[in-house]
């Protein structure tokens, strides 16, 4: 097995044993990126010089016996919404195409303090709004398993980078499925954390009550290692509760015997492909072999999640993205008045999907419509959350499909509403603020990866990772 195919855990163990240097690991990934990213397009910006510098520093720490953590010397990539001091951070948008932030997002600061090595910033749908990276201003990221297919979105760059062996782990964000869906498309493991589990400070926001920062890697064990570093309260993000961060890697091996796992019946929607359903069935069979009890459960408000989400998220988007006014940062179109600078910068800087969502949000929040749209959506959000509360009174976790199909074609016909509706299986978890892990379990006849998600109540990432790890162990 070549270096780049190894898991984060394997690389970390080999590095700490002195079998390999961080520089050697880093050079192996750089070579892989230089060879294949031309056709995949996972990266918006590569930081190879910085990576070599950081790797050499990690090697010195190894020599001196001062290693910082299990992630020391380990190359990572960051979705290009994570601010990196001195390194361009674009949100894959023309409006930020030359933006170099003067500070680090908390998630990157924590990884950096743990010794991680930055290989570069990876592609996303513009401001994370999309399901395929096709709304990125810098082109689509193709699926490493089949270059005619998309890598998914919005964290498609992260998923493709992990699947193509460009890095051992990548940081992504999940506002309505943006980690779980690309992980499913590209065959990697992805963790959507509970709302507030990982600080959002310095990560360019989309919808502030729904955004979460998580990670994608080859295995649940690798995700657990990363989550131990990045999770926890941050004084700069007051939505991070003071909940202790467990040692996620300690509970991965817990047997599943006696666990009760529910399959929500409402997740088998019209149009879901048989191949997706059969992977859920085979996962159910594995769980039963491992001693878990699998039962049917009902989440009756599932189908209303999309409408609630696509009112709440655009409303928050319209407010959050008002900061891109061509004055304080990003690009600007020259104008004779402030109004001209604002309206023309935003016309030229934002792509179509971002404009659509800002307009929907502006409409939903405008006088006369607030009660009918925004207030109603927030009430429905309560009902979606209560569905999960009720379910988790009965079961330890939920097993569900992630997306109605495997990865779809690059350049399929545009249809905004269809794209929204396809998020039906991932959105409810964000509305409720619970956590989930997506795990690759099967393949389609065409050879494309198919994953499932395990959803657990808020701050039960340890349980979701445990189940995911047990499934991966059984499959390997």
The 80-119 contact track toward other proteins, x by CB under 8 A, reads -------------------xxxxx----------------
Rounded least distance, CB 364 to other proteins, Å: 8
For other proteins, the closer of residues 337 and 476 by Cβ is: 337
Q: How far apart are CA 408 and CA 145, in angstroms?
A: 12
The structure tokens listed for 453 are: 């998600």
97 flagged as catalytic: no
Question: Looking at 112-120, 218-226, 414-422, 447-455, which segment touches other proteins (CB under 8 A)?
Answer: 414-422
Chain center to CA of 203 = 12
CA nearest to 131, candidates 150, 159, 158:
150
330 binds other proteins (CB under 8 A): yes
For other proteins, the closer of residues 280 and 384 by Cβ is: 384
64 binds other proteins (CB under 8 A): no
318 binds other proteins (CB under 8 A): yes
For other proteins, the closer of residues 248 and 374 by Cβ is: 374
Place of tokens 């955004």: 211
For other proteins, the closer of residues 8 and 131 by Cβ is: 131
476 binds other proteins (CB under 8 A): no
Q: Which of 29, 43, 195, 403 binds other proteins (CB under 8 A)?
A: 195
79 flagged as catalytic: yes
Specify the 3-state DSSP secondary structure of 287.
helix
Q: Is 165 left (phi over 0), alpha (psi -120 to 50) or beta?
A: left
Residue ranges in 435-464 that form contacts with other proteins under rule CB under 8 A: 458
Q: How far apart are CA 241 and CA 186, in angstroms?
A: 32
The 251-290 contact track toward other proteins, x by CB under 8 A, reads ----------------------------------------
For other proteins, the closer of residues 143 and 178 by Cβ is: 178
Q: Which of 43, 267, 420, 454 binds other proteins (CB under 8 A)?
A: 420
Give me the count of residues in the chain.
476
318 flagged as catalytic: no
Q: How far apart are CA 155 and CA 42, in angstroms?
A: 10
Rounded least distance, CB 283 to other proteins, Å: 27
Percentages of the chain per state (helix, strand, coil), in multiples of 5: 45, 15, 40
Q: What does residue 127 show for φ and ψ, rounded to 5 degrees?
A: 50, 30
Q: What does residue 139 show for φ and ψ, rounded to 5 degrees?
A: 90, 160
Cα–Cα separations (whole angstroms), residue 67 to 16, 22, 114: 8, 12, 9
Give me the half-sphere count of Cα atoms (radius 13 Å) on the Cβ side of residue 49: 3
417 binds other proteins (CB under 8 A): yes
Place of tokens 């995911």: 468
For other proteins, the closer of residues 120 and 330 by Cβ is: 330
Place of tokens 């513009």: 126
Q: Which is it for strands 213-217 and 117-122: parallel, antiparallel or unpaired?
A: unpaired
> Which residues of this protein are in contact with other proteins, per CB under 8 A?
99-103, 195-196, 209, 235, 238-239, 241, 301, 303-304, 306-308, 310-311, 318, 322, 325-332, 335-339, 341-344, 346-347, 350, 355-356, 358-360, 362-363, 366, 373, 375-383, 385, 416-417, 420-421, 431-433, 458
Active site residues: 79, 154, 178
């Amino acid at each position: 097995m070549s270096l780049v195919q190894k898991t984060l855990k394997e690389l970390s163990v080999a590095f700490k044993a002195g079998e390999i240097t961080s520089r050697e690991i880093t050079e192996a990934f750089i070579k892989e990126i230089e060879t294949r990213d031309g056709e995949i397009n996972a990266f918006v910006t590569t930081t190879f010089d910085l990576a070599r510098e950081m790797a050499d520093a990690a090697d010195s720490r190894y020599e001196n016996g001062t290693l910082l953590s299990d992630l020391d010397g380990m190359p990572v990539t960051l979705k290009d919404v994570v601010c990196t001091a001195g390194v361009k951070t674009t949100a894959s948008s023309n409006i930020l195409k030359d933006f170099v932030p003067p500070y680090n997002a908390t998630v990157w600061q924590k990884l950096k303090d743990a010794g991680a090595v930055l290989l570069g910033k990876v592609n996303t749908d513009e401001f994370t709004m999309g399901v395929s990276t096709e709304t990125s201003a810098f082109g689509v990221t193709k699926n490493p398993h089949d270059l005619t297919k998309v890598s998914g979105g919005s964290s498609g760059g992260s998923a493709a980078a992990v699947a193509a062996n460009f890095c051992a782990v990548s940081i992504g964000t999940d506002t309505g499925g943006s980690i779980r869906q690309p992980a499913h498309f590209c065959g990697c493991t992805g963790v959507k954390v509970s709302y507030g589990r990982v600080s959002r400070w310095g990560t360019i926001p989309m919808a502030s009550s729904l955004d979460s920062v998580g990670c994608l890697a080859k295995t649940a064990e690798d995700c657990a290692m990363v989550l131990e570093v990045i999770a926890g309260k941050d004084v700069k993000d007051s939505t991070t509760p003071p909940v202790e961060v467990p040692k996620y890697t300690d509970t991965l091996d817990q047997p599943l015997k006696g666990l009760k796992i529910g399959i929500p019946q409402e997740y088998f929607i019209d149009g879901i492909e048989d191949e997706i359903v059969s992977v859920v069935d085979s996962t159910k069979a594995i769980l039963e072999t491992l001693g878990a009890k699998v039962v049917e459960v009902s989440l009756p408000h599932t189908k209303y999640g999309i409408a609630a989400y696509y009112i709440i998220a655009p409303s928050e988007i319209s407010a959050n993205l008002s900061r891109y006014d061509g004055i304080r940062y990003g690009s600007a179109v020259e104008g004779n008045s402030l109004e001209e600078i604002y309206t023309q910068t935003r016309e030229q800087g934002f792509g179509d999907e971002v404009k659509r969502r800002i307009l929907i949000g502006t409409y939903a929040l405008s006088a006369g419509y607030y009660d009918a749209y925004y207030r109603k959506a927030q009430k429905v959000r309560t009902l979606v959350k209560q569905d999960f509360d009720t379910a988790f009174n009965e079961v330890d976790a939920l097993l569900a499909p992630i997306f109605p199909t495997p990865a779809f074609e690059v350049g399929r016909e545009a249809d905004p509403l269809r794209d929204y509706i396809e998020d039906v299986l991932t959105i409810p978890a964000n509305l409720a603020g619970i956590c989930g892990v997506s795990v690759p379990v099967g393949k389609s006849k065409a050879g494309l990866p198919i994953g499932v998600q395990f959803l657990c109540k808020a701050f039960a990432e340890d349980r979701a990772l445990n189940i995911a790890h047990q499934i991966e162990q059984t499959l390997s």
